[in-house]
Each structure stands twice: as C-alpha cells, then as structure tokens.
Amino acid sequence: MAKKIAAGNWKMNGLMGDLPQIDAIAAAVPTGITALICPPALLVAPAAARTAGTALRIGGQTCHSAAKGAHTGEISANMLRDAGADAVILGHSERRQDQGETDADIAAKISAAQSAGLQAIFCVGESEATRDAGHALAHVADQITAALNANCDAQQLMVAYEPIWAIGTGKTATPVQISEMHAHIRATLAGIFGDTAQDIPLLYGGSVNATNAAEIFACPNVDGALVGGASLTADNFIPIMQALAAA
Ligand code: PGA
C-alpha cells in the first residue's frame, strides 16, 4: 500500500445506482497513491466486487469490537473483510457524537479491525471550542494515547486529523494549523511506536476539495486526505487523487 492515501467517506450517502461513481473513480486511480472509498455498509460488497482487479480499495465506516454474537444491527470487522473491505474508518467525530463512542470503544474496535486484517483509519480532532480555548494539541494527543498503545499494529494503522469545525462546513484548517497538528500527531505516535511512527500515514480531513487539495498536500507530515462530500462523485474526487499523486 502506497503511503499517499486518498480516502473517501461516503457517510450515509449512496444507493446502488451510485455505484457507477465508484467504477469511474476506480478507472482513474493515478499510480503512486492508494485510493480508497468507504461507502455505506450495504454497498461494500457490491463495490468490492465491481472494483476487484482495479487499484481502488473499498472500506467500511465503522465496525463492532466483537467478532460475532448477540449485537442486533451491528457489523463485525470480519464481515467487512468477508465483503471485500481492506480498511475501516474508526472513531469518526460523527460517531463519537451521535453514537457516544468512547476512546475505550474505539481502542477495542481498532484491535478487532486489525485482527480481521483491516487497515484502521483512526480519526481524531478537536471542536471549535477546544481550539478557541487553546487546547487543540493536548486534546488530540489525549485521543491518540487513549485509543492506541504499543500492541496496535502500526502497519495496519492510519491517523486522520479532522477538526470538527472543518467537517462539512467549507472551512478548512490553515496550512499552519495543519502542519502544527500533524507534527504533533507524528511526535505523539513516535512516543508510542518509536521510529515506525514515520511510516504511519497521516491524513487531513475537513472540507477537502479539488481547489484546496494541493495546498493541503504540500504541508509537512500530510500523507493524504479523508474526504467526505467531495468523494461522492468521480468528477470531484478524481482531481483530489491527481493532486495527491502530483504532491
Ligand atoms: P467533509 O467530511 O470532507 O465533507 O468535510 C470529511 C469527513 O468527515 O471525513
């Protein structure tokens, strides 16, 4: 897997009729990057089947921490893997907020995902109030140290920095803010994993689009992006993949 990662998070968007967007993205993945689309769970299997043999990887948006059992409505990491997923987003701020996921829940899910052979895309990020109070760096370091430890497999881990105030708002963090935070995340990971931390892809997320992608990818310690709204169509996502390949 190339360390440059362009990942799309479709959130609760997409019907079977939208799968041709994934076909078009799969047909346009530039060399030198890893491209990944995480559609809703019901589209994982058909998306993986349609993109088999292409450079596009498919991922899930969450999984349960147990391998199987009496958890009505839940999906296990093994089920995602069985459906053809290579990765899963974990700890997204929308799930921390809407489903009340705690750092401990997220730690357990990361462990389950990695045991099933999935790359864990672990999301962190501060609220606007936390940033305004001057606590953004400390908050994100706390999220990392609460969910990760040396037993995690650094080879099956990516960290996505997604400031909550930048998600779906059209506001992006500035290159200075992104560079500062990504250096801090890299240093925090080094405290856990040592030198291997250099190889963990760090993604920025929050209103990334074709216009701002190149500036974001030029920031030190930015290895790619986790893209929401602009990943829903090939027309919007392909230029982001191309900007990453050119970075
Ligand atoms: P956005 O979402 O690109 O629509 O801001 C990013 C995310 O939440 O992963």
Domain count, the chain: 1
* pLDDT one-digit tens code per residue, 18-66: 999 999 999 999 999 999 999 999 999 999 999 999 999 999 999 999 9
Q: Is 229 in the pocket of ligand 1 (CB under 6 A)?
A: yes
**Average pLDDT over every residue of 231-236:** 98
* Cα gap 70→164, rounded to integer Å: 33
Task: Identify the residue whose tokens are 């099933």.
Answer: 116
Q: Is 8 in the pocket of ligand 1 (CB under 6 A)?
A: no
pLDDT at 36: 98
The residues annotated with a catalytic role in the active site are 92, 162
Using alpha carbons, select from 162, 82, 71 the residue that is nearest to residue 118. 82
The domain that holds 49 is classified in CATH as: 3.20.20.70
Single-letter amino acid, residue 92: H
Q: Check: CB of residue 220 under 8 Å from CB of residue 182.
A: yes
Number of Cβ within a 10 Å radius of residue 146: 14
CA of 207 to the centre of ligand 1 (A): 6
CB burial string 46-67: b at 16+ within 10 A, e below: bbbebbeeebbbbbbbbbbbee
Q: What value does the mean pLDDT of the chain take?
A: 97
Locate the ligand 1 atom nearest the alpha carbon of residue 226 and give its number: 9
Range of the domain at 94: 5-246
pLDDT at 2: 81
DSSP for 40-81, please give it.
Answer: -HHHHHHHHHHHTTSSEEEEES--BSSSSSS-TT--BHHHHH
CA of 194 to the centre of ligand 1 (A): 30
pLDDT at 187: 98
- Taken in order 156, 148, 144, 37, the sign of the CA dihedral is positive
Q: Is 125 in the pocket of ligand 1 (CB under 6 A)?
A: no
Mutating to test ligand 1, I would choose from 5, 9, 216, 233 the residue with most ligand atoms within 8 A of its C-beta, which is: 9
**Average pLDDT over every residue of 200-217:** 97
Nearest residue (CA) to ligand 1, atom 2: 228
pLDDT at 34: 97
Residues paired with residue 35 on neighbouring β-strands, in sequence order: 6, 56
User: Under 8 Å CB-to-CB from 122, ≥6 apart: which residues?
Assistant: 90, 91, 106, 110, 147, 148, 157, 158, 159, 160
119, two tokens: 């790359």
Locate the ligand 1 atom nearest the alpha carbon of residue 166 and give its number: 5
Mutating to test ligand 1, I would choose from 167, 208, 212 the residue with most ligand atoms within 8 A of its C-beta, which is: 167
* pLDDT one-digit tens code per residue, 61-115: 999 999 999 999 999 999 999 999 999 999 999 999 999 999 999 999 999 999 9
Q: Does residue 1 have a pLDDT over 80? A: no
Chain-centre distance of CA 173, in angstroms? 17
Locate the ligand 1 atom nearest the alpha carbon of residue 94 and give its number: 8
Q: Is 223 in the pocket of ligand 1 (CB under 6 A)?
A: no
Higher pLDDT, 171 or 4: 4
Q: Check: CB of residue 126 under 8 Å from CB of residue 167.
A: no
Using alpha carbons, select from 131, 194, 121 the residue that is nearest to residue 164. 131
* Cα gap 71→99, rounded to integer Å: 15
Nearest residue (CA) to ligand 1, atom 6: 228
Locate the ligand 1 atom nearest the alpha carbon of residue 207 and give its number: 5
124, two tokens: 């962190």
